[in-house]
Structure 1
Amino acid sequence: MVFALLLAPATALAETVVEDVRTWNGPDHTRVVLDLSSPTDHELFTLEGPHRAVIDLADARLDPALLEGIRDEGPIRRIRSGRRDDGVRIVFDLDRALATESFRVAPNENYGHRLVVDLNHVGGGVDDGSSGGRGDAPVRTAESGRTGEFVVAIDAGHGGEDPGAIGAAGTYEKDIVLAVARKLANRVNAVDGLRAVLIRDGDYYIGLRDRTRKARESGADLFISLHADAFHDRRVKGSSVFVLSRNGATSEMARVLAQRANRADRIGGVSLADKDEQLASVLVDLSRAHTVEESVDVARVLIEELDALGDVHGGDVEQAGFAVLKSLDMPSVLVELAFISNPDEERRLRSKAYQRQLADGLVHGVKAYVSRTRPELALKVDDSEYMVRRGDTLSAIAQRHAVSVGALRRVNDIGGDMITAGRTLRIP
C-alpha cells in the first residue's frame, strides 16, 4: 500500500477535490460557491448557442452527484460536469446571456477554500421585492426632489454563504436579522408618509457597496443596517447602535475622490465632475460632517426605544468604520439587535414575539425622528397599540391615551397593575 502511494504521480496526490456545490439566487445575481479541498487555478468563460457559462478547474475532480439536484436556480437550468485533461470542466446551462465573474476566497471559521462564481443578471424585469409590497415605487434622485414620503432602506446583514454570527444553539444571524427586517418593513409601510425598501429580502449575499447603492437608487432618506452581535464572552449582552466614525468617514472621502474619473459621484445632488480636487474635498467633507451628525441624531432616538426592551450595551451611540455605513449622502445607522452569542439573548432573538417587539421599537424611533425633521409629512400615528417602556405605569399610559385604567386592563387581560417593558398593549 505504502509502496503504491510512492509510485503515484505527485499531481494525483495534490489533486483538488470539489467537496460541495452551493447556490443562492438573488435579485441582482445568482451565486454558485464551490467548496474546495485546496486552492486551484481556474478559467471562466461563456458560450452561446445555447447560452452557457463554463469553468475549468485545473488538477481537480468532482463527483457528478453533487450537481444532480441543482435545477432551475434562477437563470441556471442545470449544472453538469466532465473530465478535461488533468482537471474538470463544469458547465452551467443558462436560460439567457449573463455577465460572469469569479474569485477565490480563503478559509475562515465557517468554511474552507472556496471558488465563487457570480452570474450577474442582465436586463430588467427582476423584482427584488424592494418596493416593500407596494408595487413599483418611483426612484427618487437628487435632481427630482422629494416624493412626499420618507423612504427607509432596511438592510438585513449577511445572507447566502455568509451566515454572520452563529449562536450556541445554531441560530444564524442572517436569518434573525432578515426576520426582523421584514417585520420592520411591514410596520414602516403601515404608516402614511413612510415607505420601506428591503435591501435583502431572501437568503442571498449582497456586497457592502451594493447595499448602499440599492438604497441610493431607491431614493432612501435613511439607511438602517440590522445585525446581531457576537463576543467570546457569552455573558455580554445588550443592543448597540453604531454610526460612522470620523476616521471611517475620512477614508470614505478618499474613496469618493479617487472615483471622480467616472463622473458619477454626487454629494447632496452636486456633481463633483467639474470641481477641482480641493473644492471636491471640501464638498465631501461638509456632506460627511452633516450626515454623521444626522446619523447620531437617529441613533440616539433608536437607542431610547431599544432601551425600553432591555439592556443597551454601552449606553450611548457607538462610532466605527463599518463599510456598509459609508454612504455619505443619507443618515445611516447600524443596529446590533442583541448578542446572539449570549444564550438568553439568542433564545429571545428566535422568538417571533421578541422580533415583533424589536420591529415596534425601531419603527417608533423612525417615526419620532421623521416627525422632528420632516414635520410637513404629518405622519398618521396608529394609536391603537402602545409598546410598554421601562418606567411606564398603567395609569400613566391610560392618561396619555385618554382612556381608563379599567378599560386598559380589560382589553389586555391584565389582572393587576404589573406590566413588563416590551409588551404591546391594545388601546381601547
Structure 2
Amino acid sequence: MILNRIYMVSAVRATILLFLALLASLILAGSAAAKPLVEDARLGLHPDKTRFVLELSERPQYRIFTLVSPYRLVIDLPELDWPDRQETTPQAKGLVSALRYGLFTPGTSRVVLDLSRPAEVSEILTLPPRDGRHHRLVVDMAEIEPAVFRKRVQRKVHRSDDALRQASLAMPSPPRKPAQDQRPTIVVDAGHGGVDPGAIGVSGTREKDLVLTYARALQDRLKASGAYNVVMTRDDDRFIPLRGRVDIAEKHNGDLFISLHANTNPSSRVKGASVYTLSENASDAEAAALAAKENRSDVIAGVDLSSENPDVSQILISLARRDAMNSSKSFANVTVEELGKRVDLLRNTHRFAGFAVLKSASVPSVLFEIGYMSHPAEEQQLQSAAHRKKLIEGLVQAIERHFDVQQAYNRN
C-alpha cells in the first residue's frame, strides 16, 4: 500500500514536471518567434541635418542605402511588429517629404524615406536602452550636390556589424498544376502589399488590405466551381515587384490575369467600378494618370530601377502580345456587361493605358478597379460582404463567358 502511494506520488510529480517543462519550452519558443516591436518613430529637424529615430524593443540590425530617380533613403530591418497607430508614423519634415513602412519580403521590414533633395547618410547611431527606455536607431541625413550623390553616395550601403542579409525579391512560386490538368489557369493579383499600401480611403482604408479580401473571395469562388486552376500572386501582406507579378502569370502559363485595385480621386463624387487593358496610348487623361500612379509601385517600395533593362519597361508589341491584348479587350468588354447588371460602373468603363503589371507577352491581362475609396458611401459599400459577393459573382460570370467563347473558337 505504502509503495503504491509512493509510486503514485512519484508519477504525479513526474507528470507535473513534464508539463512544466513543456510549458516553459512553449513560452521560450513564443518569445524566440516574437518580432521586435516598434515603440516610436520620429523625424527631427536640425540646422545642418534631418534626423530619423526609430525606437525598438531590441537592438536593431540594419541595411541602409540611397536611391535616385527619385531620391530615396531605404532602411531594411528584420521583420518588425509596427503597431498601426497614427502616432508611430512621423510627419514629413526637412529633407524627408514622405515616409512609408511595411513588410518588404518575408523576414525583412522596410522603411522608405522620400527625399526632397539629394542627401547622404552623415551618421548612424545605435543607442542602448537608457533609464529603462528602448533601443534606438538614429540616422542623420545631410544635403549634398546631385553630382556628388551620383558619383559617391548612390551605391554606398551602410550595414550593422551583425549585417542584415540583402532582401531577395525572389518570390516562392505557387505549385504548378499537373500536366494532365486541362482546366484554364486564372492568376489573381491583389495589388500593392507590404511596404506599398496603395491608395488610402477617406476613412483610412488601405487599398492593399481591401483588394486582398476581394482576391481571396474570387479565389474561393473559382475553386468552388471546380472549373479552374487558380494561382494567387500574393495571399498575405507582402510586396511583389510589378515585373514579378507578370512573371508569376507567365511561369504558370496563365490563361487569364486579373489584377485587383481600388481607386481614389480628388473629387469625392466620382464612383463606380472600371476595367483597364494595356495600350501604347491611353484612352484618356484619367487612365494615363492612373497608369502612372500604379506604375510607381516599385518606386514606392524602394526598388532600385536603375539597372532595369529598358526593353522590359517599354511596350514592345509582338504577334503574341497582340493576341493577348485582343483577348484582354474581349474579356474586359464581357466584364463590363456582367458587372453592369450588379454594381455601379464608372462612365466609359473600359479604359486603357500603359500599365506595367499588364505587360505580359502571352497572358491576357486586365486591371480591375473595384471602386473609389475617396467616395465615402462607396468606400463603406466596398467593405461589405454583400457588395463583395455581387462583384465577385459578376467577375466569375464574365470568366465563364470568356472561356465558353474561347472553347467554341478552338473547336472551330
Q: CA deviation at 1:183?
A: 0.6
Other-structure match for 1:203? 237
1:120 is aligned, of 152, 168, 173, to: 168
Q: Rate the CA distance shift 1:375–1:167 in 2: closer, same or farther, 3 A.
A: same
* 2:261 equivalent to 1:227: yes
Other-structure match for 2:176? 137
1:58 is aligned, of 111, 115, 122, to: 122
Q: What secondary structure does 1:180 align onto? A: helix
1:318 is aligned, of 324, 335, 351, to: 351
The alignment's C-alpha RMSD in Å is: 4.0
Q: Rate the CA distance shift 1:327–1:31 in 2: closer, same or farther, 3 A.
A: farther
Letter in 2 for 1:306: L
Q: Rate the CA distance shift 1:148–1:349 in 2: closer, same or farther, 3 A.
A: same
Give distance in 1, aligned partners of 2:197 and 2:381: 19
TM-score by length of 2: 0.58
* 2:271 equivalent to 1:237: yes
Other-structure match for 1:75? none
Q: CA deviation at 1:310?
A: 2.1
* 2:246 equivalent to 1:212: yes
Q: CA deviation at 1:17?
A: 1.8
Give distance in 2, aligned partners of 1:83 and 1:166: 28
5 Å-filtered alignment, 1:238-277, equals 238-247=272-281, 258=311
Other-structure match for 2:70? none
Other-structure match for 2:195? 161
Contact 1:18–1:34 (CA<8 Å) still a contact in 2? no
1:191 is aligned, of 209, 221, 225, to: 225
Give distance in 2, aligned partners of 1:237 and 1:82: 43
Contact 1:19–1:34 (CA<8 Å) still a contact in 2? no
Other-structure match for 1:301? 334
Letter in 2 for 1:317: H
Give distance in 1, aligned partners of 2:342 and 2:321: 31
Query: Identity percentage over the alignment?
Result: 33
Contact 2:51–2:139 (CA<8 Å) still a contact in 1? no
| Structure 2: tracts of 5 or more residues without a match | 1-44, 55-74, 76-100, 143-156, 284-307
2:360 is aligned, of 310, 321, 327, to: 327
5 Å-filtered alignment, 1:318-397, equals 318-374=351-407
Letter in 2 for 1:300: N
Q: Rate the CA distance shift 1:287–1:137 in 2: closer, same or farther, 3 A.
A: closer
Contact 2:124–2:138 (CA<8 Å) still a contact in 1? no
Other-structure match for 1:24? 103
Contact 1:15–1:61 (CA<8 Å) still a contact in 2? no
Q: CA deviation at 1:167?
A: 1.3
| Structure 1: tracts of 5 or more residues without a match | 1-10, 43-56, 71-78, 101-118, 131-135, 141-145, 250-254, 260-280, 379-428
Q: CA deviation at 1:181?
A: 0.3
Q: Rate the CA distance shift 1:121–1:211 in 2: closer, same or farther, 3 A.
A: closer
Q: CA deviation at 1:148?
A: 0.5
Give distance in 1, aligned partners of 2:349 and 2:137: 55
Q: Rate the CA distance shift 1:36–1:62 in 2: closer, same or farther, 3 A.
A: farther
Q: What whole-Å deviation, never above 9, does each CA across 1:105-135 have from its counterpart, x for those lacking one? A: xxxxxxxxxxxxxx1177xxx756x4xxxxx
* 2:119 equivalent to 1:33: no
Give distance in 2, aligned partners of 1:30 and 1:176: 23
Other-structure match for 1:269? none
Q: CA deviation at 1:63?
A: 6.0
Give distance in 2, aligned partners of 1:216 and 1:345: 34
Q: What secondary structure does 2:318 align onto? A: helix
Q: What secondary structure does 2:368 align onto? A: strand
Q: What secondary structure does 2:187 align onto? A: strand
Q: Rate the CA distance shift 1:289–1:23 in 2: closer, same or farther, 3 A.
A: closer
Q: Rate the CA distance shift 1:216–1:89 in 2: closer, same or farther, 3 A.
A: closer
Give distance in 1, aligned partners of 2:348 and 2:112: 43
Give distance in 2, aligned partners of 1:294 and 1:213: 19
Q: CA deviation at 1:41?
A: 6.0
Q: Rate the CA distance shift 1:83–1:336 in 2: closer, same or farther, 3 A.
A: closer
Q: CA deviation at 1:37?
A: 8.3
TM-score by length of 1: 0.56
Q: What whole-Å deviation, never above 9, does each CA across 1:159-195 have from its counterpart, x for those lacking one? A: 1222211111111111111100011011111222301
Q: CA deviation at 1:360?
A: 1.9
Contact 2:274–2:371 (CA<8 Å) still a contact in 1? yes
